[in-house]
Amino acid sequence: MRLNAVIAGVGMTRFGKHLDKSLKQLGGEPVLEAVKDAGIELSDIEAAYVGNCAAGTVTGQESIRGQVILSSIGLGKIPIINIENACGSSSTALNQACMMVSAGYYDVALVVGVEKLYHENKAITYSAFSGAVDIEERDKFIAEVTAGQSEGSGQTRSVFADFYGVMARDHMRDYGSTPEHFAMVSAKNSFHGSLNPKAQFTEALTVEEVLAQPMITEPLTRPMICPVADGGAAAIIVSERKARQLGIERPVRLVSSVVHSYFEHPPGAEENVSSLCIDEAYYEAGVGPEDLDVLELHDSSAPCEILYYEGLHLCPPGDSVKMLADGETKLGGRLPVNTSGGLLRKGHPVGATGVSQILELTYQLQGRAGKRQVEGANVALAHNGGGTIGGEVAAMNINILVC
């Protein structure tokens, strides 16, 4: 279907360690900021879609997370839909809001992504990630990604850290990449994050400094794996008619929003959940990778970013390391990637990550990104997925925005 969805306003907390803030605060603050940014009132919102992944595990809040969060700022009565879909929870919430606005059911919809991951007991935090696999296959998965050395996996580190280590070692074997290349991703994104006041980490690191950090899982040091974080992000989605009524200058339109899930296929098949989403999004939007000006992708680890360069068709097969080394994905390069700092430096409060990507791209397309502004940005893509089944992402979301 043709999307009829415009981003009217956005808001976001700073991502980081917020032991002193409740889930309500982390979710409510960005909503009020987004409402102000859109120039509307809370009472104008007709429906809300709330993405969260781990509140039940970390805070104990189940079932009515969105209702609890939004009632704390005076928003109720309207339909409030809770959505959990791994790391893509709030991107999926965005998709559902856009579909309902495009179908004509609502003129104004709210999308919220929120997560509180930090806990005094780290094992509780990491247990939230352990549920993002098929739990009947979890022991087998851990044994595979840790090569039998599973001590601490899921307790002192996320099981996905070990998974990323396997990905990194496989990429080194197959493509000749090195730990220095992974460090280049982290250094690039640290530079971008140093320009983002909402990022969890704002210190710019050199390649040498990244390599000198503690090893988490061979060959990945701490800055090569995204940190856990607390935080929230929100967006107001309106119809084109409502956007005209609001007099929005430089409206950002969502021209494609695609969600797909893991499906069984032969090993090495050309079509998988990621390729299906990506190809459909480009087709639906009527653009190709050559048209993109700026991109936020799911760099849950440094090797993930390198792999996704090819997966998103940003470069020919085998050229992803060259694309990175040539500086094409850094600010000032041909196609800046993760200008927000990405998950590696902005942080990864799982349920909030997808909407935070939309906030960054909205700022870029409207010329509001400050020191990290990509000049002349008109077309942007957000890539956000999570969970794993069969060694592949379980839920994938692609959104394409134009201004």
- Residue 399, beta-bridge partner list: 257, 382
CB atoms within 10 A of CB 307: 21
Q: Hey, how many other C-beta atoms are within 10 angstroms of the C-beta on 264?
A: 7
What is the C-alpha separation between 279 and 261, in angstroms, rounded? 14
265 catalytic? Reply is no
Instruction: Tell me which residue of 243, 240, 254 sits closest to 95, measured CA to CA.
Output: 254
d(CA 188, CA 192): 7
Residue with tokens 């992708």: 297
Give me the catalytic one of 119, 181, 348, 383: 348
Catalytic residue among 18, 53, 87, 226: 87
Query: Which residue in 320, 279, 275, 326 sits closest to 302, CA to CA?
Result: 320
- DSSP letter, residue 73: T
Q: Is the peptide bond before 267 cis (omega within 30 degrees of 0)?
A: no
Q: How far apart are CA 401 and CA 108, in angstroms?
A: 18
Bridge partner list, 395:
261, 386
How far apart are the C-alpha atoms of 89 and 227, rounded to whole Å? 18
182: tokens are: 């992974």
Place of tokens 């409402």: 35
CA–CA gap between residue 59 and residue 38 (Å, rounded): 31
Give the pair of three-digit tokens for residue 301. Answer: 């680890």
Q: Which of 33, 35, 30, 38 minimizes the C-alpha distance to 251? A: 38
Q: Which residues contact 299 (CB under 8 A, 6 or more apart)?
A: 185, 189, 226, 305, 308, 338, 342, 343, 344
348 is catalytic: yes
Active site residues: 87, 348
